[in-house]
Amino acid sequence: MALLEVKNLGIEFPMRREVLRALQGVSFSLDAGERLGIVGESGAGKSIAAFAIINLLSKPGRINAGEILFEGRDLTVLDDNAMRDIRGNRISMIFQDPMMTLNPVLTIETQMIEVLKAHREISDNDARKIAVEKLREVAIPSPEDRLKSYPHELSGGQRQRVVIATALLTNPSIIIADEPSTALDVTIQAGIMALMLNLCKSHDMGLILITHDLAVVSQVTERVVVMYAGRVVEEGPTADIVTHPKHPYTRGLIAALPQEGTAGKRLNQIPGSMPTLDAIPDGCAFHPRCPHADDVCRASVPEIVKVGNQFSRCVKATELAEENSL
Partner 1 sequence: MGPPLWRSHVCSRRITIDYLVFAGQRLLQATLVMFVISLIGFSIQDNLGDPLRELLGQSVSEAEREALRDEMGLNDPFFVQYGRFITNAVQGDLGTSYFFKRPALQVIADKFPATLDLVIGATLIIVLISVPVGVYCAIRPNAWLARAVMGISIVGISIPVFLTAIFSIYLFAVTLGWMPSFGRGEDLVEIFPGWKTGFFTKDGFAHLVLPCVSLSSIMLPLFIRLIRSEMREILESEYVRFAWAKGLAPKRVWFLHALKNTMLPVVTVGGVQIGTMLAYTILTETVFQWPGMGFLFLEAVNRVDTPLIISYIIVVGLIFVVTNTVVDLLYTWVNPTVKITGRGR
Ligand X SMILES: Nc1ncnc2c1ncn2[C@@H]1O[C@H](COP(=O)(O)OP(=O)(O)OP(=O)(O)O)[C@@H](O)[C@H]1O
Judged by the rule CB under 6 A, the positions of this chain that interact with ligand X are: 13, 20, 22, 40, 42-48, 58, 61, 277
- 11, 73, 12, 6: which is closest to 36 by C-alpha? 6
**The residue count for the chain:** 326
Which residues, 6 or more positions from 124, have their beta carbon under 8 angstroms from its beta carbon?
Answer: 113, 117
- CB of 157 closer than 8 Å to CB of 191: yes
In whole angstroms, the minimum distance from the beta carbon of 103 to partner 1 comes to 4
Contact between 113 and partner 1 by CB under 8 A: the answer reads yes
Nearest 5°: CA angle at 190, between 188 and 195? 100
In whole angstroms, the minimum distance from the beta carbon of 312 to ligand X comes to 20
- 23, 53, 61, 80: which is closest to 207 by C-alpha? 53
Taking CB within 5 to 8 Å according to partner kind, which of partner 1, ligand X, Mg ion, none is near residue 34? none
Question: CA 281 to CA 142: how far, in whole Å?
Answer: 55
Question: CA 218 to CA 226: how far, in whole Å?
Answer: 13
Taking CB within 5 to 8 Å according to partner kind, which of Mg ion, ligand X, partner 1, none is near residue 22? ligand X
89 or 181: CB nearest partner 1: 89
24 or 111: CB nearest ligand X: 24
What is the amino acid identity at position 164? I
78 or 255: CB nearest partner 1: 78
280 or 290: CB nearest ligand X: 280
- Candidates 150, 191, 288, 292: give the one binding partner 1 (CB under 8 A): 150
Q: Which residues bind partner 1 (CB under 8 A)?
A: 54, 56, 58, 84-89, 92-93, 95, 97, 100-107, 109-110, 113-115, 117-119, 121, 124, 148, 150, 152-153, 163, 166
